[in-house]
Amino acid sequence: MTTPRFSRTEIVDTASLAAATETISKHHSIRQPVAIIGTGLLGTSIGLGLRAAGLEVLLTDPSPSAQAVAEDIGAGRGLTQEDQPGTVVVAAPPDVTGEEVIAALQRWPEAIVLDIASVKTAIVREVEHAVQTGRITPRDSLRYLGTHPMAGRERSGPVAARGELFTAAPWVLCTQPDTPRQVIYVASDVARLLGATIYHMSPEEHDAAVAKISHLPQIAASLLASRLQDTSVQALQLAGNGLRDTTRIAASDPSLWVQILTANAEQILPELHGMKSDLDRLIHTLSQPTASGARLDVAQLMDEGNRGQARIPGKHGGPAQGFALVTILVDDTPGALVSALQAVADAGVNVEDLRMEHSSGYQVGMLELSVVPGHKKHLVDSLTELGWKVL
Amino acid sequence: MTTPRFSRTEIVDTASLAAATETISKHHSIRQPVAIIGTGLLGTSIGLGLRAAGLEVLLTDPSPSAQAVAEDIGAGRGLTQEDQPGTVVVAAPPDVTGEEVIAALQRWPEAIVLDIASVKTAIVREVEHAVQTGRITPRDSLRYLGTHPMAGRERSGPVAARGELFTAAPWVLCTQPDTPRQVIYVASDVARLLGATIYHMSPEEHDAAVAKISHLPQIAASLLASRLQDTSVQALQLAGNGLRDTTRIAASDPSLWVQILTANAEQILPELHGMKSDLDRLIHTLSQPTASGARLDVAQLMDEGNRGQARIPGKHGGPAQGFALVTILVDDTPGALVSALQAVADAGVNVEDLRMEHSSGYQVGMLELSVVPGHKKHLVDSLTELGWKVL
């Protein structure tokens, strides 16, 4: 990576940022060249990141144009018949990942093969089945490790790829008891060079985890958003951040999610049954809202929602924290946000989290900042004194 | 309001910001003094806003300390026996709003009475019932208008109150065919002086609207979040913005929402039945995920979710727009955000929307900006050239 002209050392915590970006130790166990099978968003991003780390990367994709774009933006060179990759990363859609893993294990008998699909047990079972039917040997299968980098974009395809995509993102390595250490080292090094945070889980633990924290939320958002199809424009004018937040991920790509949800159906179903049970109970209660016990029942659901939500880790994976919110009215121009945040910085208060709130009608935005509760009053006073409108 | 020392005219669109804030025409039809019944967050905020607009405000609350705090922060003076308010705003919990409206109509036979509860039909029915049982006359009931300002905070109580709370927020006036014009003018002026955007709907239209765009999302978030109660810490480490977004409002106050959901049960139930039907269908499909037609079925749900989500208005109530996302890695210090946004402003690109993405592990944050798609490449190039890490 080129040295930036603009030195940011005066404002960074060099230890942590360096650890996450440029000065990551280049020492690694990855056998080169690395072949990436599938140059979509993730595969191409992996290529870009590994190239930036100085590795030799080979690319292949069924779509000649997808592969050409990936090569053009510098993610690697085209894989040829003569190439003997030492490491293979299968970055294909979940549906074909199993077959691509098996094909790679067969084609390059010395290579370590990783995949990055969102579901892991299904892939592992496909590989095991290939052993049982004699397509590959048990030793072959030990060269494979399932992994899952949890990063993504709203866009797909190689054009949207960025080498930094995985920075500080979770990367799960689904090691099993018989996974050879060398394979684990290689997978760890790939994740580390790309700046990710490594977690170890079995394939089953992984699938159960993502069912709850990724797949169920996706389903809930889609179920909720689909109700809006026949909602009047007038009603939608009243939409606030609650609706936007709960339906944001309903804009996801159907073709990808069909593959994910059907592949992980086994882990998702218990969650859906649980949700259905709670929903049935709520329907029953609200059918007799004035009955004795109705309010307690609804209160219990709300309370359980409070408890569950509070368990989600806060900033940087630490304990869930209660920050105070400060909302500043900002005009809808490029300089306004900078001005507002400069005023916050001048007050010496760190912004723990921030988002824009949409306004209905007037051309103003509301900048909602999360700050440590003890700093709130000082910040509100400082901003108000400077003439800012603080909600 | 005091003239700000820091003049922001050089960075604001004065026409729109002025319309939203200081130079709102002070001419109004509101009969003073205005009595606010209930000095919680909303009532106290209304008091602060109206006082700032130069009106005389009287306050009362069953809790002496809540009322004292509201008086202390300048929302008004305490209501006395001798006072004859010309306008009454009932800002009590939904459960007691009806009774407070009736009491106000009885106590002050000339006053116009408004309420601000989240549900409207229930209140209207209580007032109608009071006419039927002879507690008030039909003429009395014409002095009442149900309204609903759609603004709020994560905190409750007078201490969190801000006069600017309603700036650019929707305020629904639930006018009926026989609502006298004078009553509508007064209600409109209250909303206007507080900077809100006015919408007119019947009580039934309102309740149906909020059932879909506010109450159902709340329920969905609580149902989803409650599933996390028994999710392992390890699984929660993988939580990303999808989970956070879909469960954010599950942190809402149970006691308030019990009142809202039970009061609006009639409008909420059809939505719950629809959701249950979709959920049952999905459970059926995922029980046989490899069956013919299973994928099409899941794809249909995802597609309907896409369509519904796309109907949510975009910025400032305009058409839903597709912005491009640009994610910048920022260090976790006060100056870093300012630096990043200054770089964006220097590139001449307007930030349409923004939020922080949480990272897992490293002490960096990811600033996610929404920009007009045509500006994305230029922005990414500019930032990258300056040494910023753009994901």
Q: Up-side HSE of residue B80: CA atoms within 13 Å toward CB?
A: 3
- Average the pLDDT over each of B9-23, B270-284, B299-313 and give the range with the smallest value: B9-23
**B168, B306, B388: residue with CB nearest A360:** B168
Q: Residue A219: name the closest of A279, A168, A287, A152 by CA.
A: A279
Q: What is the CATH number of the domain that holds A354?
A: 3.30.70.260
Q: Are residues B30 and B159 in the same domain?
A: yes
Best residue of B198, B252, B338 to probe chain A, by most A CBs closer than 10 Å: B338
Between residues 254 and 283 of chain B, which touch chain A (CB distance below 8 Å)? 254-255, 257-258, 261-263, 265, 268-269, 271-276, 278-280, 282-283
Query: Which residue in chain B has the smallest CA separation from A9?
Result: B331
B191 and B291 in a single domain? The answer is: no
Q: What was the pLDDT predicted at B4? A: 38
A117: in domain: yes
Q: Are residues A172 and A70 in the same domain?
A: yes
Please answer yes or no on whether A313 and B289 come within 8 Å at the CB atom. no
Chain A contact for B379, CB < 8 A? no
- A312 and B250 within 8 Å at the Cβ level: the answer is no
- Is residue A226 within 8 A of residue B277, CB to CB? The reply is no
B195 → chain A, closest CA residue: A362
Domain tally for chain A? 3
Which chain A residue lies closest to B302 (C-alpha atoms)? A254
Q: How close does chain A come to B19, measured CA to CA in Å?
A: 8
Q: Nearest Cα to B360, choosing from B234, B243, B236, B237? A: B237
- Least confident residue range of A144-153, B272-281, B300-309: A144-153
Contact B304 A334 (CB under 8 A): no
Q: Which of B13, B154, B289 sits opposite A332 (nearest CB)?
A: B13
Structural domain contains residue B309: no
Taking one residue from A and the other from B, the number of pairs with CB-CB distance under 8 angstroms is: 554
Q: Which chain A residue lies closest to B331 (C-alpha atoms)?
A: A12
A contact test, residue of B202, B222, B260, B385 with most A CBs within 10 A: B222
Same domain, yes or no: A113 and A171: yes
- Arithmetic mean of pLDDT over chain A: 89
B8, B13, B165, B224: best mutation site toward chain A, by most A Cβ within 10 Å? Answer: B224
Nearest CB to B20: which of A220, A254, A364?
Answer: A364
pLDDT band for position B240 (cuts 50, 70, 90):
confident
**Boundary residue ending a domain (B187, B202, B217):** B202
pLDDT at A154: 64
Specify if B313 maps to a domain. no
* Residue A318 at interface with chain B, using a CB cutoff of 8 Å: no
Q: What is the ipTM of this complex?
A: 0.86
- Please identify, among A170, A202, A234, the residue that sits at the C-terminal boundary of a domain: A202
CATH number of the domain at A173, please.
Answer: 3.40.50.720
Predicted local distance difference test score (pLDDT) of residue B276: 98
pLDDT score at B316 = 61
Asked whether residue B117 falls in the same domain as residue B18, the answer is: yes
pLDDT in tens, B168-202: 889 999 999 999 999 999 999 999 999 999 999 99
Instruction: Give the whole-angstrom CA distance, residue B24 versus residue B18.
Output: 7
d(CA B104, CA B317): 36
Does A362 sit within 8 Å of B222, measured CB to CB?
no
**Does the CA dihedral A69-A75-A80-A86 come out positive or negative?**
negative
| Residue contact A240–B213, C-beta within 8 A | yes
Copy the structure tokens of residue A197: 């945070």
Q: 3-state secondary structure string, A123-183?
A: HHHHHHHHHHCCCCCHHHHCCEEEEEECCCCCCCCHHHCCHHHHCCCEEEECCCCCCCHHH
Best A17, A41, A234, A285 residue to mutate vs chain B (most B CBs within 10 Å): A17
Could you tell me which residues come within 8 angstroms of residue A123 by beta carbon, excluding any fewer than 6 positions away? Answer: A94, A97, A98, A101, A115, A117, A146, A203
Domain boundary among B279, B295, B311: B295
pLDDT of A330 reads 87
Mean pLDDT of all residues in B342-362: 79
pLDDT bracket for residue B24 (50, 70, 90):
low
Q: What is the pLDDT of residue A6?
A: 33
Whether residues A36 and A168 share a domain: the answer is yes
Cβ atoms of B196 and B168 closer than 8 Å: yes
Using a CB-CB cut-off of 8 Å, the residues of chain B touching A366 are 167-168
**Structure confidence at residue B13 (pLDDT):** 44
φ, ψ for residue B54 (rounded to 5)?
90, 10
DSSP-assigned beta bridge partners for residue A355: A368, B355
Is residue A141, in this structure, part of any structural domain at all?
Answer: yes
Using the predicted structure, report yes or no on whether residue B300 has a pLDDT greater than 60: yes
Whether residue B33 has pLDDT greater than 50 = yes
pLDDT in tens, A322-375: 778 888 988 877 688 889 999 999 998 988 888 886 655 556 777 888 888 889
What residues of chain B lie within 8 A of the CB of A12, using their CB? 331, 333, 336
Do A61 and A38 touch, CB atoms closer than 8 A? yes
Residue of B nearest to A345 (CA): B334
pLDDT score of A199: 96
pLDDT for the residue A391: 77
Cβ-defined contact of A334 to B344 (cutoff 8 Å): yes
Q: Which of residues 8-27 of B touch A (CB under 8 A)?
A: 8, 11-13, 16-17, 19-21
Its pTM stands at 0.87
Q: In this structure, are B109 and B154 located in the same domain? A: yes
A336 touches chain B (CB under 8 A): yes
Q: Which residue is listed with tokens 């005219």?
A: B9
Distance separating alpha carbons of residues A346 and A106, to the nearest angstrom: 61
pLDDT at B321: 66
Residue B58 and residue B112 in one domain: yes
Indicate if A196 and A244 belong to the same structural domain: no
Q: In A, which residues are within 8 Å of B378 by CB distance?
A: none
Q: Are residues A359 and A278 in the same domain?
A: no
Nearest of A353, A346, A337, A354 to residue A383 by alpha carbon: A346
Distance from CA of B363 to the nearest CA of A (A): 6
Q: Tokens for A110?
A: 């010395």
Instruction: Find the residue in A nearest to B204 (Cα).
Output: A235
Which stretches of chain A score pLDDT less than 50?
1-18, 21-23
Q: What is the tally of helices (H) and strands (E) in chain A?
A: 16, 11
Give tens-digit pLDDT for B34-90.
999 999 999 999 999 999 999 999 999 999 999 999 999 999 999 999 999 999 999
- Residue A335 belongs to some domain of the structure: yes
Q: Are residues B46 and B163 in the same domain?
A: yes
Q: Could you tell me the CATH number of the domain that includes residue B241?
A: 1.10.3660.10
Q: Is residue A302 part of a domain?
A: no
Q: What are the chain B neighbours of A1 within 8 Å (beta carbons)? A: none
| Min distance B83 CA to chain A CA atoms (Å) | 30
**pLDDT of A181-191, one tens digit each?**
999 999 999 99
Q: Does B202 touch chain A (CB under 8 A)?
A: no
**Residues of chain B positioned with their CB less than 8 A from the CB of A373:** none
Whether B315 maps to a domain, the answer reads no
- Using the Cβ of A374 and the Cβ atoms of chain B, whether some distance falls under 8 Å is answered with no
Please tell me whether residues B336 and B245 are part of one structural domain: no
CA nearest to B343, candidates A216, A279, A335, A309: A335
- Measured between CA atoms, how close is B80 to chain A, in angstroms? 30
Q: How far is CA A299 from the centre of its chain?
A: 32
Q: Between residues 74 and 133 of chain A, which touch chain B (CB distance below 8 Å)?
A: none
Q: Is residue A236 assigned to a domain?
A: yes
Q: Which residue of B has its CA nearest to A300?
A: B254
Angle subtended by helix axes A334-346 and B334-346, to nearest 10: 160
Which amino acid is present at A375?
Answer: H
B336 and A11 within 8 Å at the Cβ level: the answer is yes
Domain residues for the domain of B345 are 324-390
Backbone phi, psi, residue A44, to 5°: -70, -35
Q: Which residues of A283-296 are buried (b: 16+ CB within 10 A; e: fewer)?
A: bebbeebeeeebbe
Give tens-digit pLDDT for B87-111: 999 999 999 999 999 999 999 999 9
User: Which site among A174, A243, A377, A388 would you substitute to test the B interface, given the most B Cβ atoms closer than 10 Å to its Cβ?
Assistant: A243
- Indicate which of B16, B207, B246, B307 best probes the interface with A, i.e. most A CBs within 10 Å of its own CB: B246
Does A378 reach chain B within 8 Å, measured CB to CB?
A: no
Count the neighbouring beta carbons within 10 Å of the beta carbon of residue B176. Answer: 12
